[in-house]
Amino acid sequence: MEYVDQAIAWLRDGFANINNPKGLLIALAAVLFIGSWRQWVPVALVATVIHIAIEVLAPVLSGGGGEVTLPPDLMQESFWTRALVLFLGYLIIIGIFFLIKSMLFRGGAKAAH
């Protein structure tokens, strides 16, 4: 039961991390590229990589004089746990958005014929 509780906590944390403007915009952009449910997991993985890249490059892009470097905790468990939590969050949000997209466009295609 402890593993189930931990998995639910990771899903909850992932949803909370993605439920901000940056995460929602990345998820919405990702949904534009999904054509079927088979692409759901790979697109969520790419969205996670983009999220981490934006966090690392934000100081450089804002003109704050930052350097382009790898995340300092790349080889630590905390980084990979956070990456997993982000991935689970993107799975949830992208899945919901794609479900809505597929329901809307399926109904629109039937009405057009």
Amino acid identity of residue 82, one-letter, is: R
Q: pLDDT-derived band of residue 47, with 50, 70 and 90 as boundaries? A: very high
Question: Which residue did the predictor score with more confidence, 113 or 29?
Answer: 29
Angle, CA of 10, 14 and 17, to the nearest 5°: 140
Domain range holding 41? 2-112
Q: If DSSP codes are grouped into helix, strand and coil, which group holds residue 66?
A: coil
Per the structure, the count of domains in the chain is 1
Q: What is the pLDDT of residue 60?
A: 79
pLDDT at 18: 72
